[in-house]
Chain A
Amino acid sequence: MTEANRIRMMSFSLIIGFFLLWEVLCIVLNVSDLVLPRPSEIIVTLWTRFPVLWPHILQTLYSTLTGFVLGVIIGVSIGVLIGTSRVAYGVAYPLLVGFSSIPKVAVVPIFVLWFGSGTTPAILTAMVICVFPIVVNIATGLATTEPDLEDVLKTLGASKKEILWNVGLPRTMPYFFASLKVAITLSFVGAVLSETVASNRGIGNVMMTASSNFQVSLVFAGLIVLALMGVALYAFFSFLESRVTGWATRGNDIAIT
């Protein structure tokens, strides 16, 4: 078996082992299912209530992805602006840092007050929470573009825009895609956060409802669903990153002499 497969098997075993240990401990220590349900119970709940959960999963995905896309658009725009202009950088950066430091938990009730409960605050929270990492990565990527690369075009008389388009932006793609992984995870957190505060649908809402009715097994089922969704989203963007920006990590391979 190859090294990679061996590692995958070990990882898989670790996860199974974790759940087995959980199950055994609950039985042995006689833990009440109101405090910590057993994995077997959770799986049963997940299985039987899946048709009910499915529309909520879709809702959370929708809010996450919409907020994410909006966040990317805004993040890239601001990132390009402050990455290419020293003035804009100095002027905007403190404000950006200020905004990003605000815990988003505090922001959700304000959105709800303005827009009512439901999808809108979820999308807004998802958007707001993921903008900053994208801005930072794009700005950094642009600001640290090797002058040599830019000189290649400068000597040809290229305009600033041409240099940005042909050198700056492609050069920044690895940074951008790295930030996408982070941003999608944050968007996800933001959407769920908003749902737990004020929403009729979504996994966050499911967990709150289950929690207030003491359906603890359903709460945990919701947690498992959230974990799986988070992993799936991260993995997707990781894959995308390796496809699009493979050139950035390939330099270590053996070259033809």
Chain B
Amino acid sequence: MNASAPLPTDDPLPKATVAFGISLAITSVASALLVIAKEKGPAAVMAAMKAATGHHWATHSLSALGLFLALGFGLMRANGGRGVRLSPSALVKTLVGAVALATGLIVGCYLIVG
């Protein structure tokens, strides 16, 4: 490649990169919503999470990891094994937006709501 030539911007990403990127975005927001549910929702949610593994945080971690892996491998198998389609720029926007939203939800849950 000519060193001075501009790099292509719409080069497709590997299917695992797209699938696990979307999975990460969904899991981040789901994990933040689970924080709100267990801290501000019915006491039964927190009690069930404690009962599942002995500690709510361990259950939360395992749930997030399980969802991340299940969604990632599931999305890789979409479209007859070709994986889910998303442009690289849309993937970046989805990922960054989801992480920002999840961070805001978690911080807001403890900072604003108390």
Q: Decide if A and B are genuine partners.
A: no
B-side residues, CB < 8 A to A, are: none
A-side residues, CB < 8 A to B, are: none
